[in-house]
Structures are given as C-alpha cells and as structure tokens.
Structure 1
C-alpha cells in the first residue's frame, strides 16, 4: 500500500482519464460498489486463490471468550471482508439491481482492491483495477466488444508512450476438449491445468516432468508430450481458422473454432485497416471472402491453446493482454456464465476484461506523459498579492497550469523540484510587471 507524490498522482489520473473516456465512448456505463462484501460471498469458492488473500474484517462486539471459541472458524470471527477483485461485487450488484438495468448491461468499474500479497514489483496489497463487463449477452459479440474497447484504449495510450499491445485468446472448452482427447480423467484436469499454466516459465520438458510427478494418467502424459514435441512448419498464419487448427490436435470442435474465428472477424472489422496480413486472409481461415473480410486487416490477436487463466469461474473464452516490453500480462478476462446464477438463482451470461492499471502506468513514458503547459511563477517577495493573483489568473485563462513560488536563494533547487512535480516551464515576476512582459522559459 503506497503513497503517491504529486507527479505520480497526476500521471495516474491522466492514464485513468484516458481509460475511463475510451470505455465510455464504447457504450459502457460506470458503476460503484462498496469496498467491503459479505464474508460468505467473498469465500464462496469462485475467487480461486484470491480468496486466500482476502482481508477479513473482525465482527464487532466480540469479547475475548467469543474470539477464543471461534478461533478455528474464520467465518465465525468475521462477517465482512475487503474486496479482492471487482467481478464478485459486480455479480452481487447485478443480482441486486437487475430490474433497473438494461437487458444487456455494459459496466465500467475503476476502483481499488485489496489482497494480502507478498509485495514485489508489479504486485501490491492495494491496487487499482479497471474492469469492463457485459452481462446478458451470450454471443461472441460481447467478447468482441470488450477486446475492441481494450485495444482502442491501448491505441489511445500510445500518445503516453504505450504501444504494441496484443491479446492472447483461448477458450476453456478448448482446453477441456484437448485434455479429454489426450486421455486425462475429468477429476485430474484442474490439477493438470495448473501445471500447463506454467508452460511459459518451465517449458515443455518441465511441464511433462511435473505432470508425471503429480501422478497424472501416464498414457495421457505421453500423448501430451508427443503433441508438444510435434514437428511444426514455420509458415506465418494470421489469426483465423488455420492458425487455430494448426495449434490444436486434429478434430477440434467446429462450433468452438467458429466462435473464436468469429471474434477475430468482428474485431478486425472494427480496427483501422493496416493492410493485408502475409499469406492473405482467405488462406488463413479457409472460409469465403464474405466471412473473413475483416481478417484481411492485421489484428493484434494471437490464439494460444495453453492460455489457462487461473480463475475457476471461467466457462468459455479467456484472454490476456500482452506487451512486448514485459514477460507478464497487462490484464485479462473471460466468460463467466455461471457466477451470477449463484446470487440470482438463474444463469445469466457474462464476460469481462480487466486492465492491469498498476502495470500499465509503470510502462508509461514519463517524457510523453507531460500535460499541457504548466508554469512555475517565481516572484519577488515585494510583489503585491493582488498582482500575483492577477497574473496567475491571466496565465490560467490562456490554458496554463500555474504554481506561485517565492524566489529563494537556491533557485536551481526550486526549479528542479518543480520539474519533478510535472511543471514544464517557469517565469520570474517582479513588482509592477504585466503578464505580456513575462519571459516564459522551459524547465530542464
């Protein structure tokens, strides 16, 4: 949990403003939920490992005997907890307010969450999440809208020095089918997925070795190992049916492949044209021109058959936001059609995408992050207050941000501190000077 100096806070707010504005133009509406939820809801088995990191709030009024008696039962000690993500609160929010919401509800949530993490670079105990979700739409249109809005936000953040992001995409149904085709039993698949999720870190040999150590079905591990080590051609295939089928075992379900291809076509149709991808779109998808016209554009989508995402509530499409400058994701999400039903008593389709704000703001180029003109007005001690405020108001009216600073003996230190606070220029003001006579000089 961190303090933020003025320059850091200003940069964070600038990035948040971009994210919020781009989400809104795509038709999403912002909501707000309490920072605390009921203990039972936060520990309902839908938050994965995050449930273990929740900060729980002690019940009011417990005396020493009551605490001792309930020491082995956390639910008897606590009735509330700080939210560890924004998805569980959204599910509760929708179930509570459904009658006042549209049939297809597109929400924005931008707010802090809390997890009892071991602090390290990129991981904090309090951090901001930026979520967009679509509830009530079971079609691939929902995933496509989320991806388009997220990529558009990244495009807009290019002006602040963030460029080159892409979205890795998979489907939990693909993973389940693939493990079944290799021969893994249903009850061992969750553990197998945990190991497969380490593929980027420990490599194919490490994954196979760990699966054998776990005691996974030997013949299934043999088949999976053979698949990982199969010979592959080096031809380039843009996102589409050919890319997807090439990366999966033979016989992948047509319905799921068509779902993933359809998302790509919709995203491509909404993206600015950058020219045809190598090899042509038709050869990449194996479909007619009308079905894949959008795929003629080079879109930043990549099918990853081993993308797992750790949250147990995902039921279909899953995705992660990648950036070439880092080896970790900058966000992610997926379809979680079963979650809201736990609160509402009936299933409601839902899908969401969360931008990892803390990781993204760390990548912003500080030089590109400068705001509009910000002037430090250094004045002599004898300048009347009325003159100071009149000149300051005139500069503000011209569109500048202005800070008043009385001249010090160490002017260099004053200007260096102002530059670190995000100011870009300075001017000196003597008694009787007019705003037109000011000589504004750049800082740095």
Structure 2
C-alpha cells in the first residue's frame, strides 16, 4: 500500500470548509482593526539574513529558516564556520522585524504616527506539537511614532474590540512594564548586567511556579542573597494579579526602586480603557509578566482567557528597535493576536455563505442552460455551485451542508430561468 502523502511536519493543509472559516475570522479581525484607524501593509516573506539575526528577535532567531546563497560550491561549505555564512536570506519568524525594516524604508511616505496592520504567515523551526506549528499566521497591529501611552491605549482597545467581535467576551489583558521588572530586580540587588538572564527564568513562573523559579535561579548560580530576597517577594505577592488598581495601591505593592512615573503610566492605561467604554477589570496588573523578547522597553501585555492555561496574544513597547536601522530612536508599540490559538475558539455565524445554492443537474441539461442559470443567481447575490446529479444524493447533501450551502435546486431539461427552479432548504449540520 502506498505511504500517505503528508505536508511537511509542523505545516498543514486546510480543506475548503476550514479555509473559509479561517478567512471569516480574519475578515472580522481586519474589519475591527481598520475601524480603529489602522492601515494594512504587506512585507516580503523573506528578509536579509543579517537583519533576521541582528539580535532583535530573541530566541526566535535560533528558529529562523535560512535560505542558501545561490551558486555555492563545495569549497564554500568546507570553509564556512557557521551555517549563517551560507545564507543571505531567511523566512521571517515574526512580523515585527519586517515592520521595523518597512518603516525605515518608507518613513518619508508614511504619516508622522503610523498605525499598521500586518496579517500573514511566519515560519519557525519549532519542534511540532499540539498547538505549535512551523508555519502559522500572525495578526499584528503597531503604532509607530507615538511616544505617549495613547499608543498602548489604541492597541489595547482595538484588541479588546476585536475579541468581543469574535465572541471571546471573557478575555482580560495582563499588563506590566519592563521598567517595573528592572526596579524589582534592583530591589533585590541583582546587578543590571544579569537582569535579562534572570528574566528568562522568571518568565517561566506560570509553568514552574515560584518554587521552580527559585530552584532554577539557584541552579544557574545567581547570587544567593538576590535569590532569597526574590523568594520572599514572590511569597508575599504571587497571585492572580491586581484589578481595579490605583497609584496608591501599586506604590505600596511595588518596591520603592520602581519609578513613580511608570506607576502613573500604568494607572493612566486603566483610566483610558474605562474611558473607552470597557470595564476597568478588563485590565489586570501582573508584576511578574515578562514576555521573553528582549527588545521591549516599556509596557508589555498579554491576552488571558479564563478557561485556557496559555495566552492568546501579546505585545508591548519597543522604542529602540527601529533606531537600529535609522540611527535615531523612533517610539513604537505593537500587539499581536495569536490567530492559530483563537481560530478554533471562535464560533461565527456563517453569514458569508448564507444564500449559497447548489444546482444539481441531470446529464441531459446543456452547459449553456447551466451557465445562464448560474449567472442569473450570481447576479442576484447568491453563491452558486454546479453539481452533477449522483445516484446517491445523501453524501452530496452532507458535503454541501458542510461547505456552507443552504439551498439546493434540481435542474432538469425543461428549466429555462431561475423562476423554473424549485429551491429547497438544506438541513443545518
């Protein structure tokens, strides 16, 4: 027996019904993002290898797919000291690095404050497992050029509006600031040059728990005094995060090493969310939220669903990133919805397919008749599919229903116009 022909590991085919459902979810996301004033752009699926490995992508750089240079010789392979010596391009592993290059390229043609939408596939050499793929779609919005918290407010409100439009009502946004994390690590006397390394472990708090994080920090030989002080702080403050918080609460909750200005910015975000019509409880302050990307410089946030152990997306402020290409810093912040994680949670009405009709025709009906009937129905706004009448109609009806068709009409040789057809409803499900 022939072996099955499967797509590459970690990549997937989508049948028409699945593709249609994914496109409907994407249409909602695009529509809401656009309503909030964001404009969609498109960037190449590949970027220069040097850019993808410039230290902007964190651990994702290690998962990037490289593209070999053309015309390589055996000598090139023999003399290469690193695999990257053989590549000049690579598949994008996220949409943020391409956006920074895009902005640097087109800055003169863009508004002073640029609000972008990017939706497209990215590739990472992940170890395939449930919920992790090597090719997947990201849905990003970014605000470039706005230094104030207005950028974060626009990103968060657009994201909350999108989640509601998709029917994901119970989601909240966990929020923190990299400057708060720095203040926390300063308070336990951890040297600044060890902050990023320590945050890699603290980022595992949801997975390892407080005891596991402390054990790993000790295994990694961090200063015992600093680890002990962090253990004490975790014991007194770990929990589900703060909601409906105030500046006074945060000032008491956080070490004195945290800048009061940063606290005021966090509170301003909560006030702005409420002013936009969302309950302030939709924002939850979590002082241990890290997000692993080292390029974040300020606010960071993640989407939390009450029934799921993982986030549905996230983002933050990355003011120093675009400056790597321009030579001058440009304020920027972004939010990414985890499309592959939400698409299976969404249950949209099949409005796009409503009105779909299948014309099941006898073998003696002429092609001209079928095309005339199809054209008339399409002109009236219907979706139309032609199907030759089978011996057993039941499997065809099930397939049509699964594809979103709601009506069927049998076409015999006497049918001349749509008025001659007898339409009947297809049973849902």
Which of 231, 235, 242 is the matching residue for 1:229? 235
Q: What are the residue-to-residue correspondences of 1:190-209 with 2, within 5 Å?
A: 190-209=196-215
Given the superposition, is the C-alpha separation of residues 378 and 234 from structure 1 closer, same or farther in structure 2, using an over 3 Å criterion?
A: closer
Once residues 237 and 296 of structure 2 are traced to their aligned partners in structure 1, the CA distance between those partners, rounded to angstroms, is 31
The yes-or-no answer on 1:260 pairing with 2:260 is no
Aligned position for 2:326:
344
Aligned position for 2:5:
none
Aligned position for 1:167:
173
Aligned position for 1:35:
45
Which of 116, 124, 139 is the matching residue for 1:130? 139
Aligned position for 1:77:
86
Which of 16, 26, 38 is the matching residue for 1:16? 26
Structure-2-length-normalised TM-score: 0.91
Aligned position for 1:63:
73
Deviation at 1:106, TM superposition (A): 1.0
Alignment deviations for residues 224-264 of structure 1 (CA, whole Å, 9 cap, x no partner) = 21222228999985244356446534564210010011112
Q: What are the residue-to-residue correspondences of 1:33-432 with 2, within 5 Å?
A: 33-70=43-80, 72-158=81-167, 162-230=168-236, 237-241=243-247, 244-245=250-251, 247-249=253-255, 252-271=258-277, 297-365=279-347, 371-432=353-414
| Contact 2:39–2:117 under 8 Å retained in 1 | yes
Once residues 212 and 344 of structure 1 are traced to their aligned partners in structure 2, the CA distance between those partners, rounded to angstroms, is 41
Once residues 195 and 238 of structure 2 are traced to their aligned partners in structure 1, the CA distance between those partners, rounded to angstroms, is 26
Q: Which is further off, 16-25 or 383-392? A: 383-392
Deviation at 1:150, TM superposition (A): 0.9
Name stretches of at least 5 consecutive residues in structure 1 with no aligned partner: 273-296
Given the superposition, is the C-alpha separation of residues 185 and 37 from structure 1 closer, same or farther in structure 2, using an over 3 Å criterion?
A: same
Which of 427, 431, 435 is the matching residue for 2:418? 435
Aligned residues: 416
| Contact 1:244–1:303 under 8 Å retained in 2 | no
DSSP-derived class of the 1:363 partner? coil
Q: CA RMSD in A?
A: 2.3
Once residues 346 and 273 of structure 2 are traced to their aligned partners in structure 1, the CA distance between those partners, rounded to angstroms, is 25
| Contact 1:239–1:301 under 8 Å retained in 2 | no
Structure-1-length-normalised TM-score: 0.88
Once residues 128 and 234 of structure 1 are traced to their aligned partners in structure 2, the CA distance between those partners, rounded to angstroms, is 30
Once residues 343 and 312 of structure 1 are traced to their aligned partners in structure 2, the CA distance between those partners, rounded to angstroms, is 17
Alignment deviations for residues 348-378 of structure 1 (CA, whole Å, 9 cap, x no partner) = 1111111111111121227768732222222
DSSP-derived class of the 2:90 partner? strand
